[in-house]
Amino acid sequence: MSVASRDLPTSADVFTAAQNIAGRVHCTPLMRSGLIDTATGAKLFFKCEHLQKVGAFKARGAANALAQLPAGVERVATHSSGNHGAALAWAAAQRGLSCTVVMPQTAPRAKREAVAAYGADIVLCGPTLADRHAALEQVVAASGAHVVPPFDDSRIIAGQGTVALEIIQQSRELGAVPDILVAPVGGGGLLAGIGLAVAALAPEMLVIGAEPAGADDAQRSLHGGSHVTEQTPETIADGLRTTLGYRNYAIVRRTVRDIVTVSEAGIVDAMRLLWTRTKQLVEPSAAVGLAAVLEHGARFRKKNVAVVLTGGNMDLDRVSELFPPGGNGE
């Protein structure tokens, strides 16, 4: 599948999205940590999207998408492993709409509970993307719901790009505009939106994506010049297991400088550092950006680096698996 340029969002759409979601989502803080700066040799600015509505940046895209719904829509639907589903359920409730979320049976229990708590109907399906799409088609056929995709959608991409608008404004106020902006990448809604915003407002800033080595389709797509659409992911970062969307790939290939991969151990180490040094409870996917700085230190050392902490919806039942007794505890 190819995407015509007319189907792609632009930087102007990101600015419009900022207006659409103003007052509906938080302007999340930029956080510093001297101890982590010392550990990395870089000056880091953490964009705290784990403190966003629904505990993830996904609230931005969902709010923007529902601000642009066609007239007469009463029910929306999507597929999601968790955070987008919760975001859409939240945004729908804010506007008095019904919502159905197709979720894989492998989705963390905490994320399924969050989706239900916001009032959405949940339809469980198999673990693959094909399973999700098939189940979603059945939902739409039965209910006539308007589909809001989790990442391969112009409204979603533009909404997620508002993260970068805030980073640029906040860092300028601090007098330390980042040399590099690092964001995790799964489906690519966040990375593509950031790419559009940075290209318009701070083209000198390098945008780098980070993903688990066990789900490296985005890196293979960017480096190989051909869109990788299938993979069997193996990673604790459940929010990054999906493949890069078509629109997302088209934008990423022209706005993102590089995509790096990180190890599973590196993700856990980054989580531990964030939990213990900043006291911020982030989920595995959110720690991938810091893991990239830690594992690819040479390219970040002595640089101002913005790192997006994407979500905080941690499945607390899994903590003992990630940090077993006798590990590198504090």
What local confidence, expressed as pLDDT, does residue 125 receive?
Answer: 95
The pLDDT tens digits of the residues spanning 230-242 come to 898 999 998 899 8
What pLDDT score does 26 carry? 98
pLDDT of 316:
82
Residue 186 CA to residue 80 CA, distance in Å, equals 12
Q: For position 329, what pLDDT does the model report? A: 46
3-state secondary structure of 96: coil
Question: Can you give the pLDDT at residue 234?
Answer: 94
181 within 8 A of 198, measured Cβ to Cβ? yes
- Treating both helix axes as pointing N-terminal to C-terminal, what angle do 58-66 and 162-174 enclose, rounded to 10 degrees? 120
DSSP assignment of 208-258 equals EEEEEGGG-HHHHHHHHTS---------S-GGG-SPPPHHHHHHHHHH--E
52 three-class SS: coil
Domain with CATH 3.40.50.1100 in the chain: 5-57+155-322, 59-152
CATH topology of domain 5-57+155-322: Rossmann fold (3.40.50)
Distance CA 268, CA 287 (A): 8
Question: What's the angle, vertex CA 289, arms to CA 328 and CA 47, rounded to 5?
Answer: 110
Low-confidence ranges of the chain (pLDDT < 70): 1-6, 326-330
From the options 3.30.1330.60, 3.40.640.10, 3.40.50.1100, 3.30.70.120, give the CATH code of 59-152. Answer: 3.40.50.1100
